[in-house]
Structure 1
């Protein structure tokens, strides 16, 4: 999955596969996680937050981690 770099102290890059609703996140330490069943609107919000220069880590925690989407570490 192709990921786009983001400016964040927590996340390095973010990708999304619309067909499977899978969000792929690379953290600054190099760990990569895939989150499943993530709506496209959550990905769009995450990227909009990054584009606006707002806290990507905060958005990620509130809209991806807190809801408890199933995930796997790659």
Structure 2
């Protein structure tokens, strides 16, 4: 992933992946976003805690 954006008001998380595609995830709790930003491996964290959980 090359960029991450987060809207605290709506909980919308946008992730831009290396392949150039951006994906939105809805109602993501702030602590999940914070965990992603702190993660040593963002890809592993994404796979474990975000992928297939917060679809819009």
> Does the pair score TM above 0.5?
yes
Report the TM-score range of the alignment, normalised by the length of the smaller protein.
over 0.9
Structure 1 residue runs without a partner (length 5+): 1-10
Aligned residues: 56
Alignment partners' CA distance in 2, 1:25 and 1:69: 12
Structure 1 runs of 4+ aligned residues shifted over 2 Å read none
Superimposed CA distance per residue, residues 17-52 of structure 1 (whole angstroms, 9 cap, x where no aligned partner): 000000000000010001001000000000011xxx
Greater strand content: 1
Provide the TM-score with structure 2 as the length reference.
0.93
CA-atom RMSD in angstroms: 0.9
